[in-house]
Amino acid sequence: MPVNGVDHVNILTDDLEATASFYEQVLGLARSENPTIAKGIAGYWMRDAAGQAIVHLVDRTTAGTRYEAYHPGQPTNALHHFALRCTGFAETVARIEQRGLAHRVAEHPTLGLRQVFLVDPNAVNLELNFAGN
């Protein structure tokens, strides 16, 4: 079985609206309902411009005991970060800076790659990769 790519990332949060707003405002993802989530648990799918659900958000506070062992903002053990292929480097950096978010930019001219590193409201590390931008 060959792996063809990453389908999505699931993030547990105790502040669903703030987290959804972060992914909308900073990364330009669109919020939509999550039709697969269990009844009574709040959450969203955050979709890219093509409609692909890239980030799944789950409101841990509405899930009863299902996620009680997980605590957003605490270290995520072996998961250090997730990376997204992006376009619009200058616009993205401007949105991040307008919001006063801590971030780091890395330039790799020999690879034709620029990167932005930042952290979401749940202490999830993000790597935004801009090839040829």
3-state helix vs strand vs coil in the chain, percent to 5:
20, 35, 45
pLDDT of 76 > 90? The answer is no
Rg (Cα) of the chain, in Å, rounded?
A: 15
Residue 75's pLDDT band (cuts 50, 70, 90): low
| pLDDT one-digit tens code per residue, 6-38 | 778 989 899 999 999 999 999 999 999 887 676
Q: Provide the edge-to-edge strand list for the sheet that holds 30-33.
A: 9-13, 53-59, 43-47, 30-33
Q: Where are the beta strands (DSSP E) in the chain?
A: 9-13, 30-33, 43-47, 53-59, 81-86, 103-108, 113-119, 125-131
All structural domains of the chain: 9-131 (3.10.180.10)
Max Cα separation, the chain?
50
Q: Which residue has the higher pLDDT, 3 or 7?
A: 7
CB-CB contact of 29 with 49 (8 Å): no
pLDDT of 53 > 60? The answer is yes
Q: Which residue has the higher pLDDT, 128 or 4?
A: 128
pLDDT mean over 85-101: 94
Position 24 scores a pLDDT of 97
Q: Is the pTM of this model over 0.75?
A: yes
Mean pLDDT of the chain: 87
Structure tokens at 107: 């330039």
Provide φ and ψ at 91, rounded to 5°.
-65, -40
Alpha-carbon 71 to chain mean position: 17
